[in-house]
């Protein structure tokens, strides 16, 4: 397993090179007047899906797919409407059948949430986790920081 988890601070913008520009909506607010935790998770989902679609070889097809199997988040501070936070994502760890992504939501330089998502490569026929191909693994390894 190739990992860089110990050396990266997910609360530091410099740990990321992929960001999404987000816009907060009135519908994102909770009863306390700040952005709801579920809305924060959706912002992270936007960044995660952008990274998976544009930087990885992972695809969804009749034989293979990938699935989110674990997601954990630390809420570090509140977000308020109106606002334009940025969500960030990067590869942290690569296993034989899974990868772990580091994620964060930033309000300027301040991390309001950080998290990790585990994605598993799945064989659609068996419904079970399956190893990455040699080509996919090489492409994923290139996303790890040196």
The per-residue pLDDT for range 119-135, each reduced to its tens digit, is 999 999 999 999 999 99
Q: Is the pLDDT of residue 5 over 60?
A: no
- What global pTM score does this model have? 0.92
Class of domain 2-141: alpha beta
Q: For 67-114, what is each residue's pLDDT tens digit? A: 999 999 999 999 999 999 999 999 999 999 999 999 999 999 999 999
List of residues 6+ apart from 123 with CB closer than 8 A: 63, 64, 129, 130
List of residues 6+ apart from 126 with CB closer than 8 A: none
Give the pLDDT of residue 87.
Answer: 98
Residue 129, strand partner residues: 122
Beta strands, E only, 78-127: 86-94, 98-107, 110-123
pLDDT band at 7 (very low <50, low <70, confident <90, very high): confident
């Amino acid at each position: 397993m190739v990992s860089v988890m110990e050396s990266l601070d997910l609360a530091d913008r410099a740990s990321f090179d992929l960001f999404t520009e987000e816009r907060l909506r009135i519908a994102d607010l909770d009863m306390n007047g700040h952005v709801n935790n579920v809305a924060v998770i959706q912002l992270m989902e936007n960044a995660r899906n952008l990274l998976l679609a544009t930087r990885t070889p992972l695809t969804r097809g009749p034989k293979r797919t990938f699935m989110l199997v674990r997601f954990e988040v630390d809420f570090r501070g509140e977000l308020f409407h109106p606002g334009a936070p940025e969500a960030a994502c990067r590869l942290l760890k690569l296993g034989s059948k899974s990868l772990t992504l580091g994620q964060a939501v930033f309000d300027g330089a301040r991390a309001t949430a950080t998290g990790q998502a585990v994605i598993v490569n799945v064989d659609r026929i068996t419904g079970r986790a399956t190893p990455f191909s040699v080509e996919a693994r090489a492409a994923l390894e290139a996303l790890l920081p040196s």
